[in-house]
Amino acid sequence: MSFSSCYIGRFRRTFAQIHSTIAGRLNRQISDCQKPVHRKCTWMNTQARLLSSRTQHSYRRKLVRNGEKKQLVICIEGNIASGKTTCLEHFSKTSDIEVMTEPVSKWRNVQGHNPLGLMYQDPSRWGLTLQTYVQLTMLDRHLSTITAPVRMMERSIYSAKYIFVENLYRSGKMPDVDFAVLSEWFEWIIRNIHIPVDLIVYLQTTPQICYERLKERCREEEKMIPMEYLEAVHQLYEDWLINKTSFKVPAPVLVIPADHDLPKMIRQYEENKEKILLGRNA
């Protein structure tokens, strides 16, 4: 087999895997968000109907998650090492809440490769690779079946794009063409797939505290992260969720100050539990 046919064969297999992952998570129905339509059709038919519906009507139809019901989806957002996983651990003890951490283990090992580590070593070369995989795995998380009345998940497909892709691009570490490809992928996803988020819980920290916690956690790939990186991520989060000057915020935001020690954080989580369970920020 020639090098090119072997390469094309591998590309086709990878594309088929990605396609079946996403398609498998989707209900093969189309929905207009206000008026759900319950028509069964194939993935290809769905695409065809989406296209035709867009040309004929002003409202937009989106693909929906398998078995989508009225469960609440809460996304926990915050800087690296702000305490998101620790927060989820706390709420995992509550009945009726399903917690879902970020798929970091996948980002550290995809078929024996470590895109997270590669990205930190050479962001210009590997930023696109990591963020493409982050986008896929986060989409997979958003579309997976919810098994409890409330789902709390760590970060979202939105922060992957609005914080991490944006940071790579703004810092000059992502070439224009990589940013354009990722942006078109992202825009297609949010235009065509319904990704419900009911509340964003923002763990608001100072970059200095995150730096200390990052050092304490000591994840191998993150050893070279400088303070400036955490400051840039912090500013992007503040502009998105507090100042609301950068990107559209997909849900109401509940801000929890998170520089405090663990006992105080747990008290704050308990104080905010009812709001979180109701998906409210006030």
Ligand X SMILES: O=c1ccn([C@H]2C[C@H](O)[C@@H](COP(=O)(O)O)O2)c(=O)[nH]1
Min dist. Cβ of residue 102 to ligand ADP (A): 7
Stretch near ligand X under the rule CB under 6 A, chosen from 17-25, 51-59, 77-85, 235-243: 77-85
Question: Strand 253-257 and strand 97-100: pairing?
Answer: unpaired
**184 catalytically annotated:** no
Catalytic, out of 98, 154, 166, 270 = 154
Give the interface with ligand ADP as residue ranges (CB under 6 A).
78, 80-86, 213, 216-217, 260-262, 265
Q: Binding ligand X by CB under 6 A: which of 26, 87, 134, 136? A: 134
Q: Biggest alpha carbon distance in the chain?
A: 64
Q: Which is nearer to ligand ADP, 39 or 215 (CB)?
A: 215
Residues linked to residue 72 through DSSP beta bridges, in sequence order: 150
Are 76 and 152 a contacting pair, CB within 8 Å? yes
Residue 251 has a CB neighbour count (10 Å cut-off) of 18
Q: Which is nearer to ligand X, 102 or 198 (CB)?
A: 102
**Of 73, 49, 74, nearest to 62 (Cα)?**
49
Q: Which is nearer to ligand X, 46 or 91 (CB)?
A: 91
- What is the spatial distance between Cα 71 and Cα 276, in angstroms, rounded to a whole number? 13
Min dist. Cβ of residue 225 to ligand X (A): 7
123-143 and 3-25 are packed helices; what angle lies between their axes, rounded to 10 degrees?
40
- Establish if 128 lies at the interface with ligand X (CB under 6 A): no
Q: Binding ligand X by CB under 6 A: which of 75, 88, 139, 160? A: 160
Tokens 């995809």 locate to 110
**What is the contact surface with ligand X in residues (CB under 6 A)?**
80-81, 84, 102, 104, 116, 130-131, 134, 160, 164, 222
